[in-house]
Protein backbone atom coordinates (compact mmCIF):
# COMPACT_ATOMS: atom_id res chain seq x y z
CA UNK A 1 0.00 0.00 0.00
CA UNK A 2 1.01 3.64 0.13
CA UNK A 3 -0.10 5.77 3.06
CA UNK A 4 2.65 8.41 3.33
CA UNK A 5 5.14 9.87 0.88
CA UNK A 6 7.49 12.77 0.22
CA UNK A 7 7.95 15.38 -2.49
CA UNK A 8 11.04 17.50 -1.86
CA UNK A 9 12.13 17.98 -5.47
CA UNK A 10 12.41 21.58 -6.71
CA UNK A 11 9.39 22.83 -8.70
CA UNK A 12 11.53 23.51 -11.77
CA UNK A 13 12.74 19.91 -11.80
CA UNK A 14 9.21 18.57 -11.34
CA UNK A 15 8.09 20.65 -14.32
CA UNK A 16 11.01 19.52 -16.48
CA UNK A 17 10.58 15.81 -15.77
CA UNK A 18 6.79 15.78 -16.01
CA UNK A 19 6.56 18.05 -19.06
CA UNK A 20 4.70 20.91 -17.40
CA UNK A 21 4.72 24.34 -19.02
CA UNK A 22 4.85 26.15 -15.65
CA UNK A 23 6.60 24.94 -12.46
CA UNK A 24 4.00 23.93 -9.86
CA UNK A 25 3.47 26.14 -6.79
CA UNK A 26 4.95 23.69 -4.29
CA UNK A 27 7.48 23.58 -1.48
CA UNK A 28 9.27 20.61 0.11
CA UNK A 29 7.02 18.13 1.89
CA UNK A 30 8.40 15.34 4.05
CA UNK A 31 5.28 13.61 5.33
CA UNK A 32 2.34 13.78 2.93
CA UNK A 33 -0.64 12.02 4.51
CA UNK A 34 -4.17 10.92 3.55
CA UNK A 35 -6.94 13.59 3.45
CA UNK A 36 -4.35 16.30 2.75
CA UNK A 37 -4.21 18.30 -0.48
CA UNK A 38 -1.67 16.83 -2.88
CA UNK A 39 -0.42 17.68 -6.34
CA UNK A 40 -0.94 15.62 -9.48
CA UNK A 41 -0.54 15.90 -13.23
CA UNK A 42 -3.47 15.38 -15.59
CA UNK A 43 -3.80 15.73 -19.37
CA UNK A 44 -6.55 17.29 -21.47
CA UNK A 45 -6.86 17.84 -25.19
CA UNK A 46 -6.40 21.41 -26.40
CA UNK A 47 -8.22 22.95 -29.35
CA UNK A 48 -5.69 21.39 -31.73
CA UNK A 49 -6.26 17.93 -30.33
CA UNK A 50 -2.93 17.77 -28.49
CA UNK A 51 -2.68 16.32 -24.98
CA UNK A 52 -1.54 19.12 -22.67
CA UNK A 53 -0.46 18.39 -19.12
CA UNK A 54 -1.72 20.39 -16.16
CA UNK A 55 -0.83 20.59 -12.48
CA UNK A 56 -3.85 20.14 -10.22
CA UNK A 57 -4.57 19.85 -6.50
CA UNK A 58 -6.60 16.97 -5.09
CA UNK A 59 -7.70 15.72 -1.71
CA UNK A 60 -6.00 12.38 -1.09
CA UNK A 61 -8.83 9.86 -0.68
CA UNK A 62 -11.10 9.29 -3.68
CA UNK A 63 -14.74 10.33 -3.47
CA UNK A 64 -16.70 8.83 -6.41
CA UNK A 65 -18.61 11.31 -8.52
CA UNK A 66 -21.83 9.36 -7.95
CA UNK A 67 -21.62 9.46 -4.13
CA UNK A 68 -24.76 10.88 -2.57
CA UNK A 69 -22.88 12.69 0.18
CA UNK A 70 -19.32 13.57 1.15
CA UNK A 71 -20.06 12.70 4.77
CA UNK A 72 -19.86 9.06 5.74
CA UNK A 73 -18.70 7.90 2.28
CA UNK A 74 -15.57 5.77 2.32
CA UNK A 75 -12.72 7.53 0.56
CA UNK A 76 -9.96 5.02 -0.28
CA UNK A 77 -6.41 6.35 -0.50
CA UNK A 78 -5.31 3.28 -2.48
CA UNK A 79 -6.88 1.12 -5.19
CA UNK A 80 -5.78 -2.33 -6.31
CA UNK A 81 -4.64 -1.96 -9.91
CA UNK A 82 -5.70 -5.52 -10.72
CA UNK A 83 -9.38 -4.81 -9.97
CA UNK A 84 -9.75 -1.02 -10.26
CA UNK A 85 -11.11 -1.23 -13.81
CA UNK A 86 -14.06 -3.33 -12.63
CA UNK A 87 -14.85 -1.85 -9.20
CA UNK A 88 -17.71 0.72 -9.19
CA UNK A 89 -15.69 3.15 -7.05
CA UNK A 90 -12.80 3.33 -9.53
CA UNK A 91 -14.15 2.03 -12.85
CA UNK A 92 -14.91 5.33 -14.60
CA UNK A 93 -11.80 7.03 -13.26
CA UNK A 94 -9.63 4.17 -14.52
CA UNK A 95 -11.05 4.67 -18.00
CA UNK A 96 -11.17 8.46 -18.16
CA UNK A 97 -9.41 10.15 -15.23
CA UNK A 98 -5.88 8.89 -14.77
CA UNK A 99 -3.14 11.05 -13.32
CA UNK A 100 0.51 11.11 -12.28
CA UNK A 101 1.23 11.75 -8.60
CA UNK A 102 4.87 12.89 -8.30
CA UNK A 103 6.98 11.73 -5.37
CA UNK A 104 10.60 11.18 -4.43
CA UNK A 105 10.02 8.57 -1.74
CA UNK A 106 7.43 6.87 0.42
CA UNK A 107 7.15 5.24 3.84
CA UNK A 108 6.18 1.80 5.03
CA UNK A 109 6.12 0.36 8.53
CA UNK A 110 7.38 -2.93 9.94
CA UNK A 111 6.48 -4.41 13.32
CA UNK A 112 9.44 -4.59 15.73
CA UNK A 113 8.12 -6.10 18.93
CA UNK A 114 5.28 -3.95 20.21
CA UNK A 115 6.16 -1.01 17.99
CA UNK A 116 6.18 -0.33 14.27
CA UNK A 117 9.38 0.99 12.77
CA UNK A 118 9.01 3.34 9.76
CA UNK A 119 11.21 2.87 6.70
CA UNK A 120 11.77 5.20 3.78
CA UNK A 121 11.79 3.85 0.21
CA UNK A 122 13.14 5.55 -2.90
CA UNK A 123 14.65 4.70 -6.29
CA UNK A 124 18.38 4.34 -6.79
CA UNK A 125 18.36 5.60 -10.38
CA UNK A 126 15.48 8.08 -10.41
CA UNK A 127 15.27 10.77 -7.69
CA UNK A 128 11.81 11.90 -8.85
CA UNK A 129 9.16 9.41 -9.94
CA UNK A 130 5.39 9.23 -10.33
CA UNK A 131 2.73 7.00 -8.81
CA UNK A 132 -0.13 5.88 -11.05
CA UNK A 133 -3.21 7.71 -9.78
CA UNK A 134 -6.92 8.13 -10.47
CA UNK A 135 -8.97 11.24 -9.81
CA UNK A 136 -12.62 12.24 -9.48
CA UNK A 137 -14.73 15.39 -9.42
CA UNK A 138 -17.68 15.47 -7.02
CA UNK A 139 -20.39 18.08 -6.59
CA UNK A 140 -22.89 18.09 -3.74
CA UNK A 141 -26.26 17.18 -5.29
CA UNK A 142 -28.67 18.58 -2.74
CA UNK A 143 -29.39 19.54 0.85
CA UNK A 144 -26.48 20.50 3.03
CA UNK A 145 -24.00 19.28 0.37
CA UNK A 146 -25.39 21.59 -2.33
CA UNK A 147 -22.63 23.76 -3.74
CA UNK A 148 -19.82 21.68 -2.21
CA UNK A 149 -17.13 20.64 -4.70
CA UNK A 150 -14.42 18.06 -4.01
CA UNK A 151 -11.65 17.00 -6.37
CA UNK A 152 -10.02 13.87 -5.01
CA UNK A 153 -7.59 11.12 -5.97
CA UNK A 154 -6.20 7.73 -5.06
CA UNK A 155 -2.90 5.91 -5.63
CA UNK A 156 -2.89 2.54 -7.38
CA UNK A 157 -1.07 -0.41 -5.83
CA UNK A 158 0.27 -3.67 -7.15
CA UNK A 159 1.85 -6.87 -5.85
CA UNK A 160 4.97 -6.16 -3.79
CA UNK A 161 8.38 -7.02 -5.20
CA UNK A 162 10.72 -9.30 -3.27
CA UNK A 163 12.18 -6.52 -1.14
CA UNK A 164 8.85 -4.95 -0.26
CA UNK A 165 7.32 -8.27 0.80
CA UNK A 166 9.34 -8.05 4.00
CA UNK A 167 7.17 -5.04 4.90
CA UNK A 168 3.86 -5.44 3.07
CA UNK A 169 2.27 -7.58 0.37
CA UNK A 170 1.42 -4.49 -1.69
CA UNK A 171 3.37 -1.54 -3.03
CA UNK A 172 2.45 1.60 -5.00
CA UNK A 173 2.49 1.47 -8.79
CA UNK A 174 5.54 3.50 -9.83
CA UNK A 175 5.33 4.22 -13.53
CA UNK A 176 8.27 4.23 -15.90
CA UNK A 177 8.86 7.72 -17.40
CA UNK A 178 8.42 6.27 -20.88
CA UNK A 179 4.87 5.28 -19.87
CA UNK A 180 3.72 8.66 -18.56
CA UNK A 181 2.18 9.69 -21.86
CA UNK A 182 0.29 6.43 -22.33
CA UNK A 183 -1.05 6.53 -18.78
CA UNK A 184 -2.28 10.12 -19.14
CA UNK A 185 -3.59 9.76 -22.71
CA UNK A 186 -7.06 11.40 -22.61
CA UNK A 187 -8.09 9.65 -25.83
CA UNK A 188 -7.57 6.16 -24.40
CA UNK A 189 -10.55 4.72 -22.51
CA UNK A 190 -9.45 1.11 -22.95
CA UNK A 191 -8.61 -0.27 -19.51
CA UNK A 192 -6.94 -3.31 -21.07
CA UNK A 193 -4.51 -1.03 -22.89
CA UNK A 194 -3.20 0.73 -19.79
CA UNK A 195 -3.49 -2.05 -17.19
CA UNK A 196 -0.13 -3.61 -18.20
CA UNK A 197 1.59 -0.39 -17.09
CA UNK A 198 0.65 -1.18 -13.49
CA UNK A 199 3.50 -3.45 -12.51
CA UNK A 200 5.92 -3.59 -9.61
CA UNK A 201 9.45 -2.27 -10.02
CA UNK A 202 12.34 -4.72 -9.57
CA UNK A 203 13.82 -4.78 -6.07
CA UNK A 204 17.30 -3.91 -7.34
CA UNK A 205 16.12 -0.49 -8.48
CA UNK A 206 14.99 0.44 -4.99
CA UNK A 207 16.66 1.37 -1.71
CA UNK A 208 15.41 1.88 1.83
CA UNK A 209 16.45 2.64 5.38
CA UNK A 210 14.89 3.01 8.81
CA UNK A 211 13.83 6.54 9.76
CA UNK A 212 12.70 8.47 12.80
CA UNK A 213 9.33 7.65 14.36
CA UNK A 214 8.65 11.36 14.08
CA UNK A 215 7.00 10.53 10.76
CA UNK A 216 4.30 8.55 12.59
CA UNK A 217 2.38 11.78 13.22
CA UNK A 218 0.95 13.42 10.08
CA UNK A 219 1.19 16.76 11.90
CA UNK A 220 4.96 16.61 11.56
CA UNK A 221 6.30 17.62 8.17
CA UNK A 222 9.98 18.49 8.28
CA UNK A 223 13.38 17.06 7.38
CA UNK A 224 13.63 15.32 10.76
CA UNK A 225 11.07 12.79 9.50
CA UNK A 226 13.80 11.42 7.23
CA UNK A 227 16.49 11.22 9.87
CA UNK A 228 18.07 7.77 9.72
CA UNK A 229 17.22 5.59 12.68
CA UNK A 230 19.65 3.49 14.66
CA UNK A 231 17.39 0.47 14.19
CA UNK A 232 19.28 -2.31 12.46
CA UNK A 233 18.58 -2.40 8.74
CA UNK A 234 17.26 -5.68 7.37
CA UNK A 235 18.80 -5.20 3.95
CA UNK A 236 21.68 -3.28 2.39
Q: Determine the distance from the C-alpha atom of residue 218 to the mean position of all C-alpha atoms in its chain, rounded to a whole number.
A: 16
3-class SS of residue 155 = strand
- The partner residues of 221 in beta bridges, in order of sequence, read none
Question: One of 2, 99, 153, 198 is an active-site residue; which one?
Answer: 2
Question: One of 108, 153, 198, 225 is an active-site residue; which one?
Answer: 108
3-class SS of residue 85 = coil
Range 83-90, long-range pairs (CB < 8 A, 24+ positions): 84/134, 84/156, 85/191, 85/192, 85/195, 88/64, 89/62, 89/64, 90/62, 90/134, 90/154
Q: Is 188 among the residues known to form the active site?
A: no
DSSP string, 116-138: EEEEEEEESS-SSEEEEEEEEEE
Q: Which residues contact 55 (CB under 8 A, 6 or more apart)?
A: 20, 22, 24, 39, 40, 41
Q: Is 225 among the residues known to form the active site?
A: no
Query: Which residues are designated catalytic?
Result: 2, 108
Amino acid sequence: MCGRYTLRTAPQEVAAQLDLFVPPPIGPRYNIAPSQQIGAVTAQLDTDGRAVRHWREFSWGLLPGWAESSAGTQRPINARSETAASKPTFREAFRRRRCLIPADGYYEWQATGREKQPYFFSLRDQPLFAFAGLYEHWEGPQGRDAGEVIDSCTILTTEANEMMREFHDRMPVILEPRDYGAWLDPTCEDADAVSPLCRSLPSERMQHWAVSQRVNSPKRDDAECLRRSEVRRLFD
